[in-house]
Amino acid sequence: MTATLPERQRRRADLRRVGGPVPPVEPEVVRPTGARTREDVYTLAGAAAASLATTWIFYAQVFPFSGAIGFTVCWYAVFVGYYALLTSLAHPRPVVVDRVVATAVIGAPTLVGVALASVVVMTLLKGLPALTHLTFFTQDMSGVQPDADFDSGGIVHAIIGTLIEVAIAIGIALPLGVATAVYMSEVGGRTARLVRTVVEAMTALPSIVAGLFIYTIFLVRFGFPASGLVAGLALAVMALPIMARAAYVVLGVVPGGLREASYALGATQWQTVWRVVLPTARPGLATALILGIARAVGETAPVLLTSGASTFTNVNPFKDPMNSLPLFIYTAITSGVPQQAGRAYGAAAVLLVLVLTLFVVARLVAGGRKSR
């Protein structure tokens, strides 16, 4: 019988103390438990090759079928059949079921991964003709015919518009959202519970309804013209409940012991919140808020109703329509002009890069924290 590890360590320590010869350490080898046997690999490879061949013969040669989707679906079905058959030659039923399920469990994420990759690749590839022209980033569309070449016209007005509108939205939603979250989680009380209920209910508000609300109030009732400010307000109304709720969830994770320790040291409530709770929650808070910003940047429906699609650069949010990236994409792709569609894909690539950059920043701010 071999000695257990602590026992061996104790024995070695004893030997060292009495000055005796210390035996060399036997390295512990972890036995690989999940390893595939050669039979597993051959079964898999055989089923894959056989199903490919069968599908090719019957799908493309014998029957008059065509189409990549049909081929892939048939191949997958035949593969599962062959794999189950080959496995059942050497294994009992539970193992066969396990392997059939495994093909689905591995197939589904693969399908989604391929779809996601094709989204990114398609956006970048289709946007490339427009993106390779420097004017795309330096000019706006004022005085440019929609069917003009990529040599003239660009999306600088949409980029500036997105930045201004999102800045307005965040300037409103972020402080209010965080303050509300602090109120709900740190102050509490019956009113706070009411606020929480309403805020949570409002996270269900579809973005188009938020846009319609602002549109009706400001543009129709008060007669304001379409402008960047109104679009920013619409985005703020959409983002406010989302940010407040996300921040509330993050603040709820701060251990109560930290607060109690702070109070026990004589700190006031403000000091506790400012010096203990918020710094502790900072990474999570930053992540939640940046993700909220990313959501606001990519949201089309509210700005569609409120900002008006300008062709010129407008840096004044109080006057005149102001375009933004999602709205530019929408109007350009629905215009039906091929050059505008090319610009739409270019703008989509810019938007995608912008949003993913925000996402990466959010992750970096969160630091080495384990992803939730």
147-176 residues in contact with another protein (CB under 8 A) are 175-176
Cβ nearer to another protein, comparing 55 with 123: 123
130 binds another protein (CB under 8 A): no
Smallest separation, CB 372 to another protein (Å): 7
What is each CA distance from 279 to 240, 288, 364, in whole angstroms?
22, 15, 17
Instruction: Using CB under 8 A, count the residues that bind another protein.
Output: 103
Residues 6+ apart with CB under 8 A from 289: 174, 177, 178, 243, 246, 247
Q: What would the x/- binding string for another protein be over residues 90 to 129, using CB under 8 A? A: ----xx-xx--xx-xxxxxx-xxx-xx-xx--xx--x---
**DSSP letters for 67-129:** -HHHHHHHHHHHHHHHHHHHHHHHS-HHHHHHHHHHHHHHHHHHHHHHHHHHHHHHHHHHHHH
Of 21-29, 140-148, 243-251, 314-322, the segment contacting another protein by CB under 8 A is: 243-251
Contact between 77 and another protein by CB under 8 A: the answer reads no
Q: Which is nearer to another protein, 9 or 271 (CB)?
A: 271
353 lies in the site for another protein, by CB under 8 A: no
Q: Is 328 helix (H, G, I), strand (E, B) or coil?
A: helix
Q: Which of residues 54-73 bind another protein (CB under 8 A)?
A: 67-70
Distance of CA 330 to the CA centre of its chain: 21
Location of structure tokens 């997958």: 76
* 269-308 positions binding another protein, by CB under 8 A: 269-271, 273, 288, 291, 294-295, 297-301, 304-305
Segment near another protein (CB under 8 A), from 138-146, 163-171, 193-201, 256-264?
A: 193-201
Binding track, positions 202-221, relative to another protein; x by CB under 8 A: xxxxxxxxx-xx-xxx--x-
Instruction: Specify the 3-state DSSP secondary structure of 274.
Output: helix
- Alpha-carbon gap, residue 148 to 138, rounded angstroms: 16
